[in-house]
Amino acid sequence: MSDFTLFTTSDEHEELREAVRAIADDKIAPNAAAVDANAEFPQAAYDALRATDFHAAHIPEEYGGVGADALATCIIIEEVARACASSSLIPAVNKLGTMPLILGASEEVKHRYLAPTARGEAMFSYGLSEREAGSDTASMRTRAAADGDGWVLNGQKSWITNAGVSEYYTVMAVTDPDGPRGRNISAFVVHADDPGFTLGEPEKKLGIKGSPTRELFFDDARIPGDRLVGDPGEGLRIALRTLDHTRVTIGAQAVGIAQGALDHATAYVKERTQFGTAVANFQGVQFMLADMAMKLEAARQMVYVAAAKSERGDDDLPFFGAAAKCYASDTAMAVTTDAVQLLGGAGYVSDFPLERMMRDAKITQIYEGTNQIQRLVMARKLLEG
């Protein structure tokens, strides 16, 4: 028989899980319903995450961070999402916004921006999508024209998570309109107070209501040349490499939402009685719980394997990142829907968190690439051999 190594988390990873869960249960979960009902940024969660260095744990130690590996970062996001999906977008989007810098920026730019993010002095958002350039990112219309030693941005970005609370934004713009499609886009860091940069009104959303989503507008916004991330023309390549890594974190968010829903549903059916016995004693209910848990555990393992590949930078990360995000988000939608069903009428009202979790789960099938796009990514990798 050949030897094999069972994939498992380390003792340190499980100790981290316990620490994050304690913070989430104590500081985040009690505010989750109000955050959703009032569509307000979860400031208490942000403060608690900053106090424990869980807000941007992925930033390497050389830039002032704690240097959490990709799996540890996923565990943080998962455990926060178990309590409040809106709050889990604090560590998730800090990684999304800074990953282009980690992958492609100069050392000077990395130190300038990663350090304050690691200290909790600023949050980072990511500006790629536009009204007419969602899945087709290369068709973006935002322009950055060279002007002396800087650039002038004009255009807009849509669906920007945590816009308005972030201090910094990694923004993609076309810098060579006549250049080859996809290789004519560059990445820049935009500051919240840059002249010519404004925000649209907060979007009114189905879920993740505590995480503000707004448009970004650029009207002759001047960006100094030292804010370029990588070389001109490298922006889309950096953006797509970023998504290979951060789709894994959306998978982790989906797993956390599903776990929270399963936990609440399991507790409810053990307490709820009908026909003289606990609902949990009915075989039909037991089968639903078993299927929910089975799918959830499969999704978790896919996310963890993809996280390990992200940490190593494996060549097959694009396939595994897309697969983990796709499967986990489909699972989160299925599990939360079944959890609402298990609670019956109680699942449909906001007295219980299941309807919120079901609404929050939906976005995980859409952002950072719809699940249809994930399937295209996977198929392309399969056909490439």
Question: Per residue in 80-100, pLDDT tens?
Answer: 999 999 999 999 999 999 999
Rounded-to-integer distance, Cα 291 and Cα 342, Å: 13
In a shared domain, residues 266 and 356: yes
Q: How many residues does the chain have?
A: 385
Rounded-to-integer distance, Cα 309 and Cα 6, Å: 15
Q: Name the β-bridge partners of 143.
A: 154, 174
Give tens-digit pLDDT for 74-83: 999 999 999 9
Judged against a pLDDT cut of 70, whether residue 211 lies above it is answered with yes
Domain at 362, CATH number: 1.20.140.10
pLDDT value, residue 106: 98
DSSP-assigned states of every residue in 251-278: HHHHHHHHHHHHHHHHHHHHH-EETTEE
**For residues 374, 82, 67 and 107, what is the CA-based torsion angle, rounded to 10 degrees?**
50
Is residue 180, in this structure, part of any structural domain at all?
A: yes
Is residue 77, in this structure, part of any structural domain at all?
A: yes
In a shared domain, residues 246 and 352: yes
CB 72 within 8 A of CB 56: no
Domain end marker among 235, 258, 283: 235
pLDDT value, residue 353: 98
In a shared domain, residues 152 and 209: yes
Picking from 8-12, 245-249, 295-299, 340-344, which range would have the lowest pLDDT averaged per residue?
Answer: 8-12
In a shared domain, residues 97 and 195: no
Give tens-digit pLDDT for 350-366: 999 999 999 999 999 99
- CA 362 to chain CA centroid, nearest Å: 13
pLDDT band of residue 7 (cuts 50, 70, 90) is low
Closest CA to 366 of 123, 161, 88: 161
Judged against a pLDDT cut of 90, whether residue 340 lies above it is answered with yes
Average pLDDT of 282-306? 98
Is residue 56, in this structure, part of any structural domain at all?
A: yes
In a shared domain, residues 287 and 310: yes
Domain at 102, CATH number: 1.10.540.10
320: its two tokens: 């595994």
Is residue 208, in this structure, part of any structural domain at all?
A: yes
pLDDT value, residue 117: 98
Average pLDDT of 266-270? 98
Backbone angles phi, psi at 94, to 5 degrees: -60, -35
Q: Quick check: helix, strand or coil at residue 366?
A: coil
Is residue 6, in this structure, part of any structural domain at all?
A: no
The catalytic site residues sit at 368
In a shared domain, residues 203 and 259: no
Quick one: which H or E segment has residue 277? strand 277-278
pLDDT value, residue 333: 98
Domain at 183, CATH number: 2.40.110.10
Q: Quick check: helix, strand or coil at residue 57?
A: coil
In a shared domain, residues 183 and 229: yes
pLDDT value, residue 2: 43
Q: Name the β-bridge partners of 277.
A: 274
In a shared domain, residues 142 and 272: no
- Please, what is the average pLDDT of the chain? 97
Closest CA to 353 of 271, 283, 260, 276: 260
Domain end marker among 211, 235, 259: 235
Q: Is the dihedral of CA 300, 44, 49, 30 positive or negative?
A: negative
pLDDT band of residue 8 (cuts 50, 70, 90) is confident
pLDDT value, residue 1: 37
Average pLDDT of 268-278? 98
In a shared domain, residues 205 and 129: yes
CB 95 within 8 A of CB 117: no
208: its two tokens: 């993740």
pLDDT value, residue 6: 56
**For residues 362, 44, 303 and 94, what is the CA-based torsion angle, rounded to 10 degrees?**
100
Judged against a pLDDT cut of 70, whether residue 155 lies above it is answered with yes
Quick one: which H or E segment has residue 118? helix 107-118
pLDDT value, residue 385: 82
In a shared domain, residues 306 and 352: yes
Terminal alpha carbon distance of the chain: 29
Burial of 52 (0-12, 13-18, 19+ CB in 10 A): middle
Tracing tokens 């713009």 back to the chain, one arrives at: 173
Rounded-to-integer distance, Cα 156 and Cα 313, Å: 32
Q: Cα separations (Å) of 187 from 32, 107, 151, 342?
A: 34, 15, 11, 47
CB 156 within 8 A of CB 124: no
- CA 252 to chain CA centroid, nearest Å: 8
Rounded-to-integer distance, Cα 256 and Cα 260, Å: 6
Judged against a pLDDT cut of 60, whether residue 374 lies above it is answered with yes
Is residue 222, in this structure, part of any structural domain at all?
A: yes
Domain end marker among 97, 118, 139: 118
Is residue 4, in this structure, part of any structural domain at all?
A: no
In a shared domain, residues 263 and 224: no
Domain around 90: 11-118
Total tally of structural domains belonging to the chain? 3
Q: Name the β-bridge partners of 278.
A: 273
Is residue 248, in this structure, part of any structural domain at all?
A: yes
In a shared domain, residues 90 and 186: no
Give tens-digit pLDDT for 116-135: 999 999 999 999 999 999 99
